[in-house]
Chains A and B, each alone.
Chain A
Amino acid sequence: MKLLELRGLVASVDEKQILNGIDLTVNAGEVHAIMGPNGSGKSTLSNVLAGRDGYTVTEGDIELMGTPVNGMSVEERALTGLFLGFQHPIEIPGVTNMEFLKVAIDSHRISIGEEEMNTRDFMVQVRDISKRLELSTEFLKRFVNVGFSGGEKKRNEILQLMLLRPRLAFLDETDSGLDVDALQVVAKGINEFRSGDNGVVLVTHYQRLLNYIDVDFVHIMVNGTIVKSGDAQLAHEVEAQGYAGLGKA
């Protein structure tokens, strides 16, 4: 099943065109990596997919789970199954992580006609995932991302991913700012999440995350377009040659 299809996607931010025609298809069971230098439009792509205010599609189509996203709000896209992993996780003072996770999962359940999760089941599940991500349960009582270390913030993103179980995870620079240990934990989470039913897109600057996650496709993005696609081998070429050589190709 097609989870995501982009056809000739052109998009701009503040009337400045950043994405210059992108084609991409992600099917269930696939893991893709989008690599590219800073300023190539990777983060813009994540925000456009999620439907963030200020990001405008000027040409082309986006389909999520086979449905065009035109006119869908941020939360509608989320409830359709799109999960965005944030490069810089956002802090929400005053709102505990627990509260936030509970409301998020309940919103998903209500959208498919299920009842709110009972608190005990919720706690059991959250504790279990936290443990697997080597997060102390203490951090569940803290405010969302407030005072979290860089590694904790990223692990918190993965926790949300594992809890909400979206169809398509679009993870923006999830590896940035992580030491090797944290990187392994994050990779482990992503590997546990992936299955034949869902898809993962890893957006990254470096290939080091790919040492821990097997990817099916690698796309190189330069100046708002995908200039080259291939298998995992392509990531190693990038590592060796840099983006500059590929961009001209």
Chain B
Amino acid sequence: MAVTQTAVAAQGDLLNRLLEKEVQETPWLDRSASRSKLNCVGLPMPWKGRWQYTDFQALVEDALTLDGSEDALQACDGIEVNRLDQPSSEAQAIDPNTNEVVSEFPLVDVNGLLFRSGTKLDTTAQSARLSITDATGSVDRHLISVAEDANLQVEESFRSGNRVTLCYVRQNATLEYALTMPRSEKLGYHCIVVWLAKDSTLKLHLASKGSQIRRNDVIVNTIGKNASATLSGGWLVDERDHLDTQIYMNHRVGSTHSEQSFHGVVDDRARSAFSGFIRIDRDASASEAHLTNRNIALSPLARAHAQPELEIYTDDVICSHGATTGHLDADSLFMMRSRGIDEDSARAMLTKGFLRQVVHSEGGTSLLQL
């Protein structure tokens, strides 16, 4: 009981310090939604629920110390860019849909209070490309909007800091998003939230290494019929690194499809966690959702946790998920060795093969040396 009270007090203290640090220099940005949500939902209890494998407090404390405002935008064609740190005559909602981001992802609102740099990006051409680079040491936020019938390709690299990108994919538009996360000594929180309108398509691809503490959230909402999302990716976490990847696939309307496949490798003393949550709303009949997550631990001290979850509120659905944790296939190893390949090379080949099944982006392939 006493312990619980201390924890509650610590949470309250952290929340107060957070609310005090709300960035005041940008009155043209409306941060009220983030503030009121944090105020009313509060911060989650540490080491519980969605935060059972990742130190939530450390990530918030880290965000409180970050004050860099490096420009993260590198190249873009066919896109109108508005910098959020530039004064604007009228107040801008930083995230009109913020209430839809479920309460289990409060760091999205922490970012909403604290971000100092960011961009609003709207496609102006039928086909556009965009590259977002590392902005080490800053809290930043990007609002991406893909216009009707347009196609946008985003390449993003993220190392550390705190970043949220919010993407609106309008009717019949396509967003292809490749996120690469190289290794870092620091802490990092990254979140992508996507809303998919009618007939739109999302192809999201992740490739990641670990960092001291790294949490990567992906939240996808289908809000129009026939929207479809394909999420894939892989990670290789080694040394004493940590990587926690959480996917929240939210089917909110009917006839929407999602397909997820993620492979993870943990080595040395590293720890990886994966949670793939699929929710099918009462109004989302005739939806189809599939998820597979496979994990391989290469060393005795490596830890892999997997948590695929289904929450389904209507009967007219086709859903499946599967998760495994295991090790390299002994038969394959034996076969390769019997052909004269030494054990280390055989292991390396099998590990690469395992990741190649899901990692196909250029950035991902070179990051994971496939």
Check whether chain A touches chain B (CB < 8 angstroms). no
B residues apposed to A, CB below 8 Å: none
A residues apposed to B, CB below 8 Å: none
